[in-house]
A and B are shown apart, each in its own frame.
Chain A
Amino acid sequence: MSDITTNGHIAHPVGVGTGLALIPRATEKQSLKDFKSDQEVRWCPGCGDYAILAAVQSFLPELGLKRENIVFVSGIGCSSRFPYYLNTYGFHSIHGRAPAIATGLAASRPDLSVWVITGDGDALSIGGNHLIHALRRNVNLNILLFNNRIYGLTKGQYSPTSEVGKITKSTPMGSLDKPFNPISLALGAEAGFVARTLDSDRKHLQSVLREAAAHRGTSLVEIYQNCNIFNDGAFDALKDPGLRDDITLRLEHGQPIASASKAVRRGAGGRIEVVDRASVPEGEILVHDAHDPDPSAAFALSRLDEPAFEHVPIGIFRSVDRPAYDTLMSKQVHEAVSDQGAGDLDQLLRGGDTWRVG
């Protein structure tokens, strides 16, 4: 491990994390085929989930982990069917609870690579409490949050990431509540690794997964995912060849944050703002620091897509190491054993004030 900074965070370059260090490695080369299960995939034709599944299936061999040491845990929703389609261990659980179940699994089995598959309803509505506590606790989990900004499996109600005024079956006059920004929420919940990517951009998606897997602790990856039935085209602006290069602000550690036409800089009072790229000298464009222990710049970046998706940061907002909960938990167990010796049941039972009869 590298240096511990003053506030307890451990800094290391992206990609050199220890997230996979305790997980046994495969002895033979793996291929996409190894990770396909025998189950027929049953999402609606055209669903963004297909692209994510294909990206994950073709990415997993790259990790080189023993397949039997990989577990996918999900909650309820369209995305939560994901584990059935991967030939790893899998647990399709109940609505919102996947982070809790995965926490117990990962905390008791540091030799597993545990992935949580969840959606915007699952993670941010019914399971919001478990999500924020998983992030704060920092168990070694990778949480992939498929955000399609709608409820799919229950057939089209608005979700906690739907825009205000959304007309749906349950909100015929428009939704009233302000949506969560999952990135802001995760940063506020002390997450050490927070990223955003897009279902249709396999290369970027896989690069983010690579970093998430390498990160030891909880990583949250928001994946913009198109629901072509109930919320089609929600992210079209990011996919439109004529628009995407102007809207997308790529976040790459050590690189200036800019799209083709826009750039991010620190304005008056230190506020982060988006300006025309032409109006700002290259040297004044804000350089992205994903390892900044202070999350305030990452948080400010997470707010840039408000209110109307005019410019959307994509990439790793924050990647800062701090000790993972499961590591600390194992450490306490090992310390107890090394300090006091392994437990002896007879000794324990006879540990109080005892007396003998007869």
Chain B
Amino acid sequence: MTKQVQQLDRVIIRFAGDSGDGMQLTGDRFTAETAQFGNDLSTLPNFPAEIRAPAGTLPGVSSFQLHFADHDILTPGDAPNVLVAMNPAALKANIGDLPRGADVIVNTDEFTKRNLQKVGYAASPVDDGSLGEWRVHAVPLTSLTVKALEGFEVSKKDAERSKNMFALGLLSWLYHRPTEGTIKFLERKFAKKPDIAKANIAAFQAGWNYGETTESFSVSYEIKPATLAPGLYRNISGNQALAYGLIAASVRSRLPLFLGSYPITPASDILHELSKHKRFGIRTFQAEDEIAGVGAALGAAFGGALGVTTTSGPGVALKAETVGLAVATELPLLVVDVQRAGPSTGMPTKTEQTDLLMAMYGRNGESPVPIVAPATPSDCFHAAIEAARLAVKYRTPVMLLSDGYLANGSEPWRLPDADDLPDLSVEFAVEPNGEDGETYLPFKRDPQTLARPWAVPGTPGLEHRIGGIEKADGTGNISYDPNNHDMMVRLRQAKIDGIAQDIPPLEVDDPDGDARLLVLGWGSTYGPIAAAVRRVRRSGVKVAHAHFRHLNPLPANTGEVLRAYDKVLLPEINLGQLALLLRARFLVDVISYNRVRGLPFKAEELAGVIQDVIEQ
């Protein structure tokens, strides 16, 4: 039978199953195949915080969404064209997101009476006609897998567990994905268990062959490679890019990287990644708590290291006092906050932008810190380098605000050359800077940057004491002088404010230059906002778009840009934190759009909001 091949420009697939079904792995592999094939792509993993929630229940559903296309795309997509549902819970949790006519592949083996009851289905939706508006492909994935593995040296349980590879094989056939990478991956992953490796590869190939022979699938799809800018690419997640950015900052500053960290979702992968790269002279320290993590990083910075701590919101709360100490002692320090849904424990695996005001103001006293926020997963690399640049140049703690969506999402990344990355070289103080030529003044500032000198222990003649008590300008001696304190408060603020002259101006994307509405964003909302702007522009509406990478200080031209438009719209995954800052600072009537669902915005949703604001 020759099957029909249909051309598509883009597809959104969602793999959904029980947390034990290996959906994240399946998604990762499909992503790797897709990246290898050359499509542009964007991914959205979505999983519960529980390692193994009760099997077959709604809270236990884990999913992985992948958007891939023959052109450049900005988001993991709003609504899936294809849902792979490994059990009734996965179907029930996800079916509502599917547009009419979407394909649904269900593993009918799991649609048992008991599993149906667990999620409140009285009868199987596959049989009762309730899925009429979708194209349902009923596939007994588990039993097909077990049958394909007859004669292999694996238990029935292990055979059943390979069903995700069968599903991957089927989808790989359906979308013409290259398979060599997955076979090599399985050989590597199960190198110590060759029987398991063989079984998984066989299941994967059986899935492919099933697609080719079964009548359930009469059409397969081709999505041509995207025409991306020339270069060498890899697929990368935000956390991995961030870890690589920290390594790059260490290499480019020639400062040894010291990471003090305490495990916390969704930031732990940065600790895991950095701990693998000791050959770069990296020291990773898993501390007894969040406070010790940042304390050790600050201690290492005092000793001349690139001190970094990685955490999520609850950890930032605990680290606040030490960040204040870094402000007072004016030492470089990187605080990475991979934001997650709060308050308190909140929803650890879900994304949010709710830590901006904590990053700005969550310390005692006047304690300004620069804030940098990456826009996309691969941008985490460059944002980490930028945060390190500011930290070492201005001798200040810097907050880097990533989030759960960026951390776990991935996209193709055009690899930079190490030599093209910014030079972050630091000059340590090595001789006295007092006018008498003998004394060392630890708080005598560079007139340009207002940064103080950095003299590290081991430097003869520059022995000095620093601390959290207010210091006299210049000497750094303890001072309770009222006027000195007022001056030091202002100097520390002026140092951070001055960074505005050292960062790029806010760039506005306004193709014709005559839009009356400006849509603003910061951090991980870049993709959905840019995609929404593209949509409304296609319908002829004029709209300008600008995105903040530096939240403190804001780019020097921010006020000018804001005042140039009749309306300013700012979608945020919080209750309007940046809007509050912009309103206070620039007296501009920013229109907020806020949803705090633990999920990224959808492009369609934002396109509707933009339309509404224009029509108001």
A interface residues with partner B (beta carbon < 8 Å):
24, 37, 39, 66-71, 73, 83-84, 87-94, 97, 100-109, 111-112, 129-130, 133, 329, 332-333, 335-337, 339-343, 345-346, 348-350, 352-358
Contact of B279 among A67, A87, A107, A340 (CB under 8 A): A340
User: Which residues of B have CB within 8 Å of A101?
Assistant: 295-296, 298-299, 302
User: Which residues of A have CB within 8 Å of B278?
Assistant: 332-333, 335-337
* Interface residue SS majority, chain B: mixed
User: Which residues of A have CB within 8 Å of B258?
Assistant: 104, 107-108
CB<8 Å pairs between A and B, sample of 9: A68-B459, A92-B466, A92-B467, A92-B469, A107-B300, A130-B295, A343-B247, A354-B234, A356-B232
Question: Which residues, 221 to 260 on B, are CB-close (under 8 Å) to A?
Answer: 225, 227-236, 244, 247-248, 251, 256, 258, 260
Decide if B435 is an interface residue (CB 8 Å cutoff). Answer: no
Q: How far is the CB of B325 from chain A (nearest CB, A)?
A: 5
Q: Is the CB of A94 within 8 A of B322?
A: yes
Q: How far is the CB of A185 from chain B (nearest CB, A)?
A: 15
**Bound CA–CA A346/B232 (angstroms):** 12
- Beyond A104-B260, A112-B303, A129-B288, 4 additional contacts (C-beta under 8 Å) are A39-B465, A105-B303, A107-B285, A342-B279
**Bound CA–CA A348/B305 (angstroms):** 21
Contacts A87-B463, A112-B458, A333-B283 given; indicate if A105 touches B302 (C-beta within 8 A).
yes
**Bound CA–CA A105/B376 (angstroms):** 34
Contact of A100 among B299, B302, B461, B466 (CB under 8 A): B299
Contact of A68 among B295, B300, B462 (CB under 8 A): B462
**Across the A-B interface, the 5 shortest Cβ-Cβ residue pairs:** A358-B230, A92-B467, A104-B296, A104-B299, A100-B295
User: Which residues of A have CB within 8 Å of B324?
Assistant: 94
Q: Is the CB of B233 within 8 A of A355?
A: yes
Instruction: Specify which of B35, B225, B244, B278 lies most central, judged by the most chain A CB atoms within 10 Å of its CB.
Output: B278
B interface residues with partner A (beta carbon < 8 Å):
32, 35-36, 38, 181, 225, 227-236, 244, 247-248, 251, 256, 258, 260, 277-283, 285, 287-289, 291-292, 295-305, 307, 321-322, 324-325, 329, 414-418, 457-469, 477-478
User: Which residues of B have CB within 8 Å of A66?
Assistant: 458, 460
Q: Is the CB of A354 within 8 A of B296?
A: no
User: Which residues of A have CB within 8 Å of B233?
Assistant: 354-357
Q: Is the CB of B291 within 8 A of A91?
A: no
Closest Cβ neighbor of B381 among chain A residues: A349
**Bound CA–CA A345/B281 (angstroms):** 12
Closest Cβ neighbor of B328 among chain A residues: A94
Q: Is the CB of B417 within 8 A of A89?
A: no
User: Which residues of A have CB within 8 Å of B35?
Assistant: 353, 355
**Bound CA–CA A73/B466 (angstroms):** 10
**Bound CA–CA A339/B277 (angstroms):** 12
Contacts A68-B458, A104-B258, A104-B307 given; indicate if A348 touches B467 (C-beta within 8 A).
no
Q: Is the CB of B279 within 8 A of A91?
A: no
User: Which residues of A have CB within 8 Å of B285?
Assistant: 103-104, 107, 329
**Bound CA–CA A21/B260 (angstroms):** 26
Q: How far is the CB of A315 from chain B (nearest CB, A)?
A: 29
User: Which residues of B have CB within 8 Å of A91?
Assistant: 299, 302, 329, 465-467
Closest Cβ neighbor of B248 among chain A residues: A345
User: Which residues of B have CB within 8 Å of A108?
Assistant: 256, 258, 283, 299-300, 303, 305
Instruction: Specify which of B227, B295, B329, B460 lies most central, judged by the most chain A CB atoms within 10 Å of its CB.
Output: B295
Q: How far is the CB of A191 from chain B (nearest CB, A)?
A: 15
Contacts A97-B291, A103-B292 given; indicate if A357 touches B230 (C-beta within 8 A).
yes
**Bound CA–CA A69/B463 (angstroms):** 9
Q: Is the CB of B307 within 8 A of A345?
A: no
Q: Is the CB of A349 within 8 A of B300?
A: no
Contacts A67-B463, A68-B462 given; indicate if A346 touches B417 (C-beta within 8 A).
yes
Q: How far is the CB of B311 from chain A (nearest CB, A)?
A: 14
Closest Cβ neighbor of B284 among chain A residues: A329
Q: Is the CB of A68 within 8 A of B251?
A: no
User: Which residues of A have CB within 8 Å of B416?
Assistant: 349
Q: Is the CB of A93 within 8 A of B463?
A: no
**Bound CA–CA A87/B464 (angstroms):** 7
**Bound CA–CA A84/B305 (angstroms):** 23
User: Which residues of B have CB within 8 Å of A71?
Assistant: 457
Contact of B325 among A93, A133, A329, A333 (CB under 8 A): A93
Contacts A129-B292, A336-B278 given; indicate if A105 touches B181 (C-beta within 8 A).
no
Contact of A103 among B279, B299, B305, B467 (CB under 8 A): B299
User: Which residues of A have CB within 8 Å of B296?
Assistant: 100-101, 103-104, 107
Contact of B457 among A89, A93, A130, A339 (CB under 8 A): A89
Q: How far is the CB of B263 from chain A (nearest CB, A)?
A: 15
